[in-house]
Every structure is written in structure tokens, then in C-alpha cells.
Structure 1
């Protein structure tokens, strides 16, 4: 049995929220992080120990992991794994969010800036993201030495991980809600994949203990 503890990174700076940033290395909102210190402490207490810690190449995941360590999680040096980075939107990155509605409702997902099957010029489709993240999870399973892996990642990649576990279509996966500083738990055992929790807010469920 192996459990994956997927944490979405902290909220980015408000200046970045008005456009599609994807794999751009945008800064976090320090004001929000300070105001939510109790939330970080609750999540740090919820996470398993010992565990393998994974971050993506983007600084917002590493800085979120650092915040969890400051909030009480044992000091750990994360491994950097690009398999779990956000969807690459190619030439659409940097486009104001408001402009995506102008492309027509048939060309975008109701909860995502573009259609689930669309491959942006120079980027990747959400279907490709599911494949990439799924291969990353399987690779971590193959190299695991303990029972728990924490992955600080991105909303799209966590949806993709759930799609891999449950066999969801890209459209279905993009309907999942994954908040900043939320926890989603997957498990792989001798019967296969399953989801233990999704979009969990540990400040509200701190009594639950890791298996």
C-alpha cells in the first residue's frame, strides 16, 4: 500500500490572477499566507511523517512546502519532479482570463479557460497532462521505499492525478474543485487505485489521523 498526499500550492499574488499563468513562475501572495498561518499549521499537523516530499520546478510549490515546514512539519529537503507541474498553455499563457470567454462557450470548459481536448499552440492538452501526471505517479510508486509521498503541486495536476486514479475523462476531471492549500489523498494497494479524500481542508478535519 502507498498513499499520496497532494497539496495545492498557496494562493498566488493578486496581480497574477487576472491572466492565465500556467507554467509561468509567478510569486505567491505573502499577505494571504501570513493571514492563513493557522491553516498551514493544521495542514502540517495533518501530513504523515515520515514521508517523501516532492515539489515541482516552479517556486510556488517549494515556497508552500517551506511554509508548511515553518508551521511545524519536520524539516525535509524536497525532490523536484517536473511530472507534476501545471498544464503548459503554450502561446495562451499570459492571456487575460476575461478574454477566454470571447473565444465562444463551445471552445472552453465551464470550469477551465480552454476546452478539455484543446492543445494550445506550443502547449499541451489536459489529456496529455493526465498522461504525464499518471506516469509520474507510477514512477514514484516504483521507487518508493516508505508508505507515504507528499506532493506539493498545482490545481490542474491534482485533477489529473484524480483522473489517473479513477479513469476519468479530461472533461470530468476538470469539473473537480481543488482549492489552494487543500489536501487530496490517493492510495494504491493490491486492488488498485482509490481516492481517500479530495479538496480536504485540514483546519476543518484535523481529528482524522494518517493511516
Structure 2
């Protein structure tokens, strides 16, 4: 069986000198590294279906990869691939939130899978909406390559689904900016994982 091959790309590094919590808060990113974007463009398949979170940093990242020479269909905005919503804390400086709401802040970051920020969503909620997006688009694009430019949280959610991990365990994954993760969805609903957190155009550390 030919699987639907998902190429999950995390957005470029954010520009965040104030150290705010951003989540779904729109924040700019740095795409001024032609070597990295050229290498990612070369690593991705030609002629793929492209999806992107509708936030500015993912759109900008997708545009930079495509400008570096990666062909494919015009990207489609998919809101279910957005970063976790941190509610009232979005756009606020981390240190200030900790000073104002120390217990709520610590409780959220120490047990983040089930906890919600005030008026926000939990990582469990993110897993549910990412699952719906993966199921939907895997059926629509059966047997094709799908490039999805998204965020660290939803990529961890996708790995939770593909590896059948609890949301809490999936939060252990680290996702570099402009990294590529490959997961495969088969017609019978089974998943495979090709690789995680590949960083084309950057040196690897031998160990």
C-alpha cells in the first residue's frame, strides 16, 4: 500500500525580544538564512499538496521554502494545525504572568498535557484537532505527499498520534525551527514514522 506521506515542517525562529508567550498570538519570524531554506526545499518532495497554519510565521516560512525552489500546490490554510492557544496569557511577558499568577502558571507548565491556561486550550485539545486534520487530509490526499508547515505543539501532537503515545509522553519530543518530521498514514489507518526533527542545511553533532 502506498501511504499518504506527511512532511511536517516547523516554522522559522520567532523574533521575540520581549519573551512573550505567543501560542496563537501572531508574531514575526526570521527567514534570512538562504542555506537552510534551500536545503529544506531540496529535501521536500516536488508536486506535493501544501497545508499551512494560517498564522503569519508559518505562512512566511512556507513562502521562503517555496521561493528557495520547492514546487507544489498553492498552500491551503488549515486552522487545525495552529499552535496551542494559551488564552489570556498570549502576548503577555512570561515573567509578568509568573509574578501575577504564580500558582496557575506553575501548575500549567508542570502538568501541561491536561491543563489549560485561562480561556485557552490544553495539549490534549491540540491532539484532538490535529488528529481530525490528519484523518481528513489523509483521506483527501490518499497516497500523495502532504507538506504541512506548522508549529512545535501540533508536530508533537502528530507524533503522539502516529506513535500511539500519551499526550504527556509526546511533549518530550523536541522540534527545532525549520526542521522536518515525516510520518506516513496507510489506507488501513496504521501509521509509520520515517524520521523526526531532521534539520537540513545544518551540521549534526556526532556523539
TM-score normalized by the length of structure 1? 0.85
**How has the CA–CA distance of structure 1 residues 191 and 154 changed in structure 2, closer, same or farther, with 3 Å as cutoff?**
closer
Range that drifts further, 75-84 or 173-182: 75-84
SS in 1 for 2:17: helix
Question: C-alpha offsets along residues 106-125 of structure 1, whole Å, 9 cap, x if unaligned?
Answer: 62446xxx622102221111
User: Unaligned 5+ residue runs, structure 2?
Assistant: none
Which residue is 1:27 aligned to?
Answer: 28
Q: Which moved more, 1:173-182 or 1:95-104?
A: 95-104
Deviations 1:166-204 (A, max 9, x none): 121121111110010000000012471121111101225
Return the offset for 1:51. 0.5
Post-superposition CA distance 1:117-171 (Å, at most 9, x none)? 1022211110010010011000001111552000000011111111111121121
Q: In the alignment, which residue of structure 2 is the partner of 1:15? A: 17
SS in 1 for 2:47: coil
Instruction: Tell me the residue number matched to 2:153.
Output: 156
Q: Secondary structure of 1:86's match?
A: coil
Could you tell me how far apart the structure 2 residues matched to 1:121 and 1:101 are? 13
Map 1:87-126 onto structure 2 (within 5 A). 87-98=84-95, 103=102, 107-109=107-109, 115-126=112-123
The aligned counterpart of 1:209 is: none
The secondary structure found in structure 2 opposite 1:28 is coil
Determine the structure 2 residue equivalent to 1:208.
none
Could you list the runs of 5+ residues in structure 1 that have no partner in the other structure?
Answer: 206-211
Cα distance in structure 2, aligned partners of 1:99 and 1:170: 28
Name the SS for the 1:48 alignment partner: coil
Runs of 4+ aligned structure 1 residues displaced above 2 Å come to 94-106
Size of the alignment, in residue pairs? 197
CA distance in 2, matches of 1:85, 1:170: 17
Q: TM-score, normalised by structure 2?
A: 0.87
User: Contact 1:109–1:171 (CA<8 Å) still a contact in 2?
Assistant: no
Alpha-carbon contact 1:89-1:120 (below 8 Å) kept: yes
Q: CA RMSD in A?
A: 2.1
Q: CA deviation at 1:99?
A: 5.1
Instruction: Tell me the equivalent position of 2:128.
Output: 131
The answer as to whether partners of 2:11 and 2:150 remain within 8 angstroms in 1 is: yes
Seen in structure 2, the aligned counterparts of structure 1 residues 146 and 115 have a Cα distance that, compared at 3 Å, is closer
Q: State the distance in 2 between where 1:106 and 1:57 align.
A: 30
Is the deviation greater in 5-14 or in 97-106?
Answer: 97-106
